[in-house]
Amino acid sequence: MNDDQVNSSPSDTAEISQCEPIIRIDDLSFSYDLGKTNTLRNISLDIPAGKVTAFIGPSGCGKSTLLRCLNRMNDLVDTAKVTEGKIEILGQDINAPDVEAIELRKHVGMVFQKYNPFPKSIYENVAYGLRVQGINSKSVLDQAVEESLQKAALWSEVKDRLDTSALGLSGGQQQRLCIARTIAVKPQIVLMDEPCSALDPIATARIEELIAELSQDFTIVIVTHNMQQATRVSDRTAFFYLGELIEYDETSVIYGNPSKKQTEDYVSGRFG
């Protein structure tokens, strides 16, 4: 699946193996006010393909900001600016002048903190990303909708009411619908910005199961403020504090045997 994606993209010539980094962040500094103050400072980390990487840290540490740098959602803020360093995804500097953010976002999907389905039917929600690409063939859409909903573990619950409003679903279902909507576009990378923070524990558990399943097909980067969640879902964890990357390692190392005092204090619940 993943290899198909990579090969179908004309910009890639070389095959990218599972262990090679799909995202390479190099000495990145980022500012929300045109460089007066840096929200992120000198961050370098490589995110491996086909794995789940978690960003953790206390509120305001910049983990969501970094996530939104990865699909250039920060472009929506007029005064946002990468002041230093670069981000390479699939070997391409994503802030290069000839990169179109819209094309980037087709490869790097995003699931938001607050589930935000459009007030349309379930079917139209999933088909949205394909429709904006100009795909209107009913058979293609039907197939993509079913496939995506199945991958999002929602198909059996909604298959008989695809034409009803998405807003009639429960919170957890709505968030899974948002995931289905994101993967319908077949991105290589799925960014998740605290996807469970608005959900109850049962719905959260289902999303976590889903993340584990999706990691077979997608590279997942998840921001979470729930430390247990990071241990449950992620292969690697990055700990951020005050705009800096403190430590980045295998999740088991970060939680079991961190090398930095701050990390240990945070994961053991002493602050944050």
Partner 1 sequence: MTKQSPLNNPFAAVSSKQKKKDAAGTILFAFFTYFILGCTVLILGKITLDGLPVLLKAEAPFINTEFLSKSPMTLYEFTNENGEMVRMDADDYRQFREENPDAVVREEHTFSYAGGGIWGPLVGTMLLVIVCMIAALFVGISAAIYLNEYAKKGKVVTAIRLAIMNLAGVPSIVYGLFGFAFFCLSPFFPVLTYQPNVESSILAIPLWPTEGYLSFEGWGSSLLAGGLTLAVMALPVIIAACEESLKAVPKGFREASLALGATKWQCIRTAVLPYAASGILTASVLGITRVAGETAPIMFTAAVASKDKLPWSDASGSGLYWISDMVTQSVQALPYHIYVVSGKLPDDPALLEMRYGSVFVFLLLVISFAMVSVIMRARFRKSLKW
In the complex, the residues that contact partner 1 under the rule CB under 8 A are 71, 73, 76, 78, 102-103, 105-106, 109-110, 112, 114, 116-119, 128-129, 131-133, 167, 178, 181-182, 185
Give least dist CB 127 to partner 1, A: 10
| Rounded CA separation 132/230 (Å) | 33
Quick one: angle between helices 201-214 and 171-184, nearest 10?
Answer: 20
Angle (CA) 102 106 112, round 5°:
95
Cβ nearer to partner 1, comparing 117 with 258: 117
The DSSP 8-state label assigned to residue 9 in this structure reads S
- Report whether 188 contacts 109 (CB < 8 A): no
As beta bridge partners, residue 38 has 31
Closest CA to 67 of 37, 117, 112: 112
Cβ nearer to partner 1, comparing 82 with 178: 178
The DSSP 8-state label assigned to residue 57 in this structure reads -
Give least dist CB 108 to partner 1, A: 9
Side-chain-facing half-sphere of 26: CA atoms under 13 Å: 13
Contacts of 215 (CB under 8 A, 6+ apart): 50, 51, 52, 235
Cβ nearer to partner 1, comparing 198 with 205: 198
Cβ nearer to partner 1, comparing 181 with 206: 181
Give least dist CB 172 to partner 1, A: 17
Give least dist CB 116 to partner 1, A: 3
Give least dist CB 92 to partner 1, A: 16
Cβ nearer to partner 1, comparing 45 with 189: 189
Cβ nearer to partner 1, comparing 72 with 225: 72
Give least dist CB 11 to partner 1, A: 15
| Rounded CA separation 91/31 (Å) | 23
What's at 191, amino acid-wise?
L
| Rounded CA separation 63/44 (Å) | 13
Structure tokens at 120: 């349309």
Structure tokens at 267: 């994961």
Give least dist CB 113 to partner 1, A: 9
Cβ nearer to partner 1, comparing 42 with 116: 116
Cβ nearer to partner 1, comparing 105 with 236: 105
Give least dist CB 111 to partner 1, A: 8
Pairing assessment for the beta strands 21-31 and 81-89 based on DSSP bridges: antiparallel
What's at 266, amino acid-wise?
Y
The DSSP 8-state label assigned to residue 13 in this structure reads -
